[in-house]
Amino acid sequence: MRRGCTSLGDISCDECHRTIPHGERYLIIEGQDGVELRLCVECSLNRGYARYRKEKGKEILTFFPGEDDVQ
């Protein structure tokens, strides 16, 4: 399961170990064994869990698959 969250300032990325500052978005992925992985925006983009899409003429960041991503 994927959950898009906003940092309160005391979160670090489990991939690059960078501190995610207050107000920045990050992603929590829950694995099959119940382990939660926290990823910053850059790591989420690199792993393919996040993408930018156009909506109403603006580019927005989304952590969730769109209609074209569903198989």
Residue 4 is given by DSSP the state E
Is the pLDDT confidence value at 71 over 50? no
Q: Give me the phi and psi of 27, to 5 degrees please.
A: -120, 140
Q: What are the extents of the domains in the chain?
A: 2-62
> How many Å separate Cα 48 from the centre of its chain?
9
Q: What is the pLDDT of residue 70?
A: 44
Query: What is residue 31's DSSP assignment?
Result: -
Confidence of residue 45 (pLDDT cuts 50, 70, 90): very high
Please give the model's pTM, rounded to 2 decimal places: 0.80
Which of 51, 1, 31, 22 is CA-nearest to residue 14?
31
